[in-house]
Chains A and B, each alone.
Chain A
């Protein structure tokens, strides 16, 4: 994988406004995913690739688009990676 940390985070979060009359209990922090393809724009030719077997596992042929997903709402994964 690329050595230096990516310049962007794959998961971002925000805290929705809580009104006094909100009917449901607060979720608190909400997360949304921002995959690398958002930041790349038009894909340049000749990007580094995974091997075919890896590409099948990782879901993309080009290393730059690999976007690991971990459910941030699950207890253990509170801190979103990347």
Chain B
């Protein structure tokens, strides 16, 4: 399907990026502050949220990363276009 993706694709992707960025920042913070419970709570909340966003995105638009589920049993979707730099 080569038609450009609906706007929702980009919105969901940006939401995933924002959640993952928060996880990266919190990971770096928690590396030096292992006993900050509030940050750990926030980390778990965003980890769960990010997993949920990715599950919804992948069921709709295909695998996001190596190791994601391949949704259709007879078509290998990982190498299908569009590639990340084409979207």
Contacts and interface: CB of A to CB of B under 8 A. Distances in A.
A52 B23 CA distance: 10
Nearest to A42: B32
Interface residue range, chain A: 10 to 19
Given A43-B33, A45-B33, A60 B25 contact: yes
A53 B18 contact: yes
A46 B32 CA distance: 14
> Dominant SS at the A interface?
loop
A60 B18 CA distance: 11
Contact of A56 (B18, B29, B33, B36): B18
Interface residues of B, number: 16
Q: Which of A43, A45, A46, A61 has the most CB of B within 10 A?
A: A61
A45 B14 contact: no
Interface of A: 42-43, 45-46, 52-53, 55-56, 60-62
Interface of B: 14-15, 17-19, 21-22, 25-26, 29, 32-33, 36, 38-39, 46
29 contacts: A42-B32, A43-B29, A43-B32, A43-B33, A45-B33, A45-B36, A45-B38, A45-B39, A52-B18, A52-B19, A52-B21, A52-B22, A52-B46, A53-B14, A53-B15, A53-B18, A55-B18, A55-B21, A55-B25, A56-B14, A56-B17, A56-B18, A56-B21, A60-B25, A61-B21, A61-B22, A61-B25, A61-B26, A61-B29
Q: Which 6 A-B pairs have the closest CB atoms?
A: A61-B25, A52-B18, A56-B18, A45-B36, A56-B21, A52-B22
